[in-house]
Amino acid sequence: MAVDQTTITQLEGTPVQYEGGLARPAQSYWSESWERLRGSHFGMFFGGVLVVLAVIAITAPLFSAFVTHLAPTSVNLNDSFAPFSRAHPLGTDELGRDTLTRLVYGARVSLGVGFLTVAIYLLIGGSVGISAGFYGGWWDDLLMRFVDILLAIPTIYLLIMITSMLPLPIGPIIIRHDAFSLSTIIAITVWGTVARLVRGEVLTVKNRDFILATRSIGASNLRLMLRHLLPNVLPVMIVAASLGVGQIILLEAALDFIGLGVQPPTASWGNMLLNAQSYFYHSTSLVILPGICIVLAVLSANIFGNAVRDAFDPRLK
Amino acid sequence: MSTEAPARPKLTKAWTAAEPILEVRGLKTYFPVTAGMLQRTVAHVRAVDGVDLTVRQGETLGLVGESGCGKSTLGRSILRLVEPTEGQVIFKGEDLTRLGAAEMRRVRRDMAMIFQDPYASLDPRQTVGEIIGEPLDIHHLYTNKRQRQERIHELLRVVGLNPNFNNRYPHEFSGGQRQRIGIARALAVDPSFIVCDEPISALDVSIQAQIINLLERLQDQFNLTYLFIAHDLSVVKHISDRIAVMYLGKVVELAAAGELYRSPKHPYTGSLLSAIPIPDPKVERGRQRIILKGDVPSPVNPPSGCRFRTRCFKAQDKCAQEVPPLDTVDGHEAACFFPLQGDER
Amino acid sequence: MADHLLEVQDLHTVFPTKDGVVKAVDGVSFHLDPGETLGIVGESGSGKSVTVLSVMRLLQRPGRIASGRILYKGRDLAKASDPEMQEIRGEEIAMIFQDPMTSMNPVFKTGWQVGEPLRLHKNFDAKKALKEAVGFLHKVGIPEADKRADQYPHEFSGGMRQRAMIAMGLSTGPNVLIADEPTTALDVTIQAQILDLLRKVNHDFGTATILITHNLGVVAGMCERVMVMYAGKVAEQGPTEDVFANPKHPYTWSLLRSIPRLDAQEHEPLRAIEGLPPDLINPPTGCPFHPRCPFRIDRCIREMPPLEPVGPTQLATCWVTQAGRDLNEAAS
């Protein structure tokens, strides 16, 4: 790139006396929000619970190798419906599979789908919202009418419709009932709300003078959207995402429970519940344990999400 | 920074002979007014409605008028931050209205804008260094990081801010300091022409003079040409060599700053001058005031003929029928059939 | 204490915030006589608006009057009960605000709103109140007042709305009219109309007026006396002509030299006031203007000067002028 240095006026010899110190204390929006979040002990506690669950989920293979010494799918029919014991701290199911190991692997599915789905729907909703709000006109109309239609269809109905078509071959790839596909599918059905929120925020931000000022120095549209609009709508996206994880965990568990989510023998909290309902009188713990896990994860995600919202929402200041 | 601006040896020195840097010809900027479900265009706001102006190299051309007169839209149309509907903007011999996006981006290296609201015109999520560095990034004005950093420090110093404030966020600064940041950003590309859109009207009274003095010093130092837009005629008169007065999308009078104050020709200019309070009770109590009747009409349906006639104390039948051209009257350009005489001001 | 209509004594108004207590008004005293026009000048944050909001007892939470007396016709408004204040507001003391766009309720017709104080304070019925309202709208220069009274505020321009606000304020015949930056949101030609109207109101109705503004030019043309405020404190007060001709506080002195004047010589340099506006949470020690003051002496950094007479007609809070120095001479 050609750099024309000769035209830059040298600024030597200008008077050096500065106009005052800082008017207000130094703090970026992010560090300020983070400090507010840290101040919420209740929220931080459940954030910690979420972190512990996530660590367990990530290290599930290690857990099964070194703690329970059992794989989640290893069947032992001689040991079915075993009570709590040293070998099986939380007992076994009808096929003699270790419940603790299966719960740990189930955390992988639930939390994985929860966070991944939120990430995907933020990406879709954010891009659609920013571009619709920024360009306006027919593009905005087109995208927003599509969002209207999407939001008019009940999410669970849409999910059942799509997941019941699985496995679905699209070209060389076959979409199955795995966690990644489920995340994508759930994200595709729920990004509409985020897109709307983001678009609304873009409409107010884009009329502020700094957008005009940035255009006046020759910035491209892409730069305006990525460098200026995105950081300014990020708080809205964080707030939208904060309560999303809990909702998605519930939604995924519901899908598993009706048999349209993650398929056995892969363990998930939802399909463990489905499987256990036939043995409810025989072995109550098989129903209660996955239920407790779901409640704990969703509750932690929601309480922490609430704290995040309170800390990051610029309108609540 | 010195409290006292250097006495300026400028003006009189031949701005009349200086080359035009910018010529605006027949510029019109209309905004559609839409209605109904289908957003049909039912009318137009004629924000700028046929303006001709010449800005000469090194001068400050003041542009005054009340809200809704189109002065800000004119400034933005010149920089093509809003698209003009009709007319030409010739900057250094090149018609900007014909340029494509990429060519326009190149021209933006040579012109800049300073905004009214120092709170809204800086991105709250960027640090001062990022704000001032952005034009350098866009136009590739450095070869390495160190050069970029040095240039940012230099710019902060030149507008009177501590270079160590580089990593701070805009909300940590007061209004006047923020306006300095905005000025540093405008200077970053080393422009020759700057549109100042009400740069001091949002600032505290005790800060305004600092910014005026800074703008004047920078003009001398970097040989800048200003289009200075404001509603406050006393500020405009102080900083400008020539002043254009706008009313409802048209320039109604154009003259050298002192001339305009001493002998306004257009009745609107006369009433504008008399409406500005002077901070001196003795002068103020003895002043003759022309108090205009009514409000500014809507720019959607401007009056026929002369647009000022509905509020003018000199209006006659002719004013409703014909549009007065911007003609030379005693060395002024004024668009009026019945210009003010000596005893009327 | 002679018979001043309104007398404020050592008023302190505070706003507790999470960063500390903001002393928005810090020991302000002034008085207003019947029929006179007093200007209160200051920048944003100088406490000029909070001063009159304290007088009206209209402070937004968490702001509160910490100490001081507000004597209206001998009664202390700082201690008055809420029902008592409601009697006084609108009937005895009326107030008009800066932004005529937001100070009227958009869902009621203008005539109804202008007649509201009459229905509240004079027990007029709706019909009679409307008739009076139309009369006042006419008096403040609204053409076709009877038709205009039937319109909603959004059908009015900014200047017309400010006229309607003034009509509303005047309708009950108050003794004091407080105008808080009444022309700041308006264009200069409209500002001239409103100022002309306020002058007429003061003259015709004999209403004592407090005019709050940041524009020294407006004060020069409108007010008999002026009070200059800085950082919640009184800088100086006195007859307008004396204060402008011979300022006794360096802030007033500097401000007058820093603003461009329409009648100034061409390219006459401006003497800018250096530095930043004061931080109200951590105000400077001593006199709040000392960091920006060209006349500062050591004592100013340590001690806040009291408000004392300087010269025959003026009061100022400045050690330098209280010691008998003249600012014009000291500067040259």
By Cβ distance, the residue of B208, B234, B289 closest to C261 is B234
| Averaged pLDDT for residues C226-248 | 95
Task: Supply the pLDDT for residue A19.
Answer: 56
The residue type at B303: P
Q: How many pairs of residues across A and B have Cβ atoms under 8 Å apart?
A: 125
pLDDT over 50 at B40, yes or no:
yes
Residue C199, token pair as written in the block: 């002058």
pLDDT over 60 at B15, yes or no:
no
Q: How confident is the model at residue B14 (pLDDT cuts 50, 70, 90)?
A: very low
Beta strands at C6-17 and C64-72: parallel, antiparallel or unpaired: antiparallel
Residue B260, token pair as written in the block: 């305009």
**What are the domain boundaries of chain A?**
30-316
Cβ–Cβ of A210/B120 closer than 8 Å?
A: yes
* pLDDT per residue as tens digits for the range C126-177: 899 999 999 989 888 888 888 899 998 888 888 888 889 899 888 888 999 9
Q: What is the CATH number of the domain that holds B280?
A: 3.40.50.300
H or E segment to which residue A295 belongs: helix A285-312
Is C46 an interface residue toward B (CB < 8 Å)? no
Look at residue B286 and tell me if it is in a domain: yes
Is B80 an interface residue toward A (CB < 8 Å)? no
The minimum CA-CA distance between A24 and chain C, rounded to whole Å, is: 9
Q: Report, in angstroms and rounded to the nearest whole number, the Rg of chain B calculated over CA atoms.
A: 21
Domains of chain C: 33-46+81-223 (3.40.50.300), 235-331 (no CATH)
- B20-35 β-sheet, strand order: B40-56, B20-35, B86-91, B94-95
* pLDDT per residue as tens digits for the range B162-215: 888 888 888 888 889 999 999 999 999 999 999 999 999 888 888 999 999 999
Task: Supply the pLDDT for residue C20.
Answer: 83
**How many whole angstroms separate alpha carbon A189 and alpha carbon C259?**
61
Task: Supply the pLDDT for residue C1.
Answer: 46
Reported ipTM: the value is: 0.86
By Cβ distance, the residue of A11, A27, A227 closest to B154 is A11
Look at residue B134 and tell me if it is in a domain: no
**How many whole angstroms separate alpha carbon A264 and alpha carbon B136?**
58
By Cβ distance, the residue of C192, C240, C272 closest to B281 is C240
Indicate the pTM of the whole model.
0.85
* Cα four-point dihedral sign C241, C246, C251, C254: positive
Task: Supply the pLDDT for residue C289.
Answer: 94
Helix (H), strand (E), coil (C) string for B214-253: HHHHHHHHHCCEEEEEECCHHHHHHHCCEEEEEECCEEEE
CATH topology of domain A30-316: MetI-like fold (1.10.3720)
Cβ–Cβ of A25/B172 closer than 8 Å?
A: yes
Task: Supply the pLDDT for residue A315.
Answer: 58
**How many whole angstroms separate alpha carbon C129 and alpha carbon A238?**
53
The minimum CA-CA distance between A42 and chain C, rounded to whole Å, is: 21
Look at residue B187 and tell me if it is in a domain: no
| Averaged pLDDT for residues C233-248 | 95
By Cβ distance, the residue of B6, B206, B278 closest to C277 is B206
Structural domain of B334: 15-58+67-110+244-345
* pLDDT per residue as tens digits for the range B144-162: 999 999 999 999 999 999 8
**How many whole angstroms separate alpha carbon B54 and alpha carbon B90?**
9
Which CA distances in Å does C136 have to A37, A228, B295, C194, C203? 56, 51, 20, 15, 16
Cβ–Cβ of B113/A2 closer than 8 Å?
A: no
Reading chain A (317 residues) residue by residue, the pLDDT tens digits are 333 333 333 344 334 455 556 666 556 777 878 888 888 888 899 999 999 999 998 988 888 888 777 888 777 778 778 778 877 878 788 788 888 888 989 888 889 999 999 999 999 999 999 999 999 989 999 999 999 999 999 988 888 888 888 788 887 888 888 888 889 999 999 999 999 999 999 999 998 899 999 999 989 999 999 999 999 998 888 888 878 888 998 998 888 888 888 888 888 888 888 888 877 777 788 888 889 999 999 999 999 988 888 888 765 54
The partner residues of C15 in beta bridges, in order of sequence, read C22
The minimum CA-CA distance between A20 and chain B, rounded to whole Å, is: 8
Is C107 an interface residue toward B (CB < 8 Å)? no
Residues of A in contact with C276 (CB under 8 A): 19-21, 23
List subunits contacting chain B, requiring 3 or more Cβ pairs under 8 Å: A, C
| Averaged pLDDT for residues B226-241 | 93
Share of chain B above pLDDT 70, in %: 93
**How many whole angstroms separate alpha carbon C162 and alpha carbon C177?**
14
pLDDT over 50 at C44, yes or no:
yes
Q: How many pairs of residues across B and C have Cβ atoms under 8 Å apart?
A: 161
**How many whole angstroms separate alpha carbon B128 and alpha carbon B136?**
13
Cβ–Cβ of A23/C274 closer than 8 Å?
A: no
Residues of B in contact with A28 (CB under 8 A): 127, 169
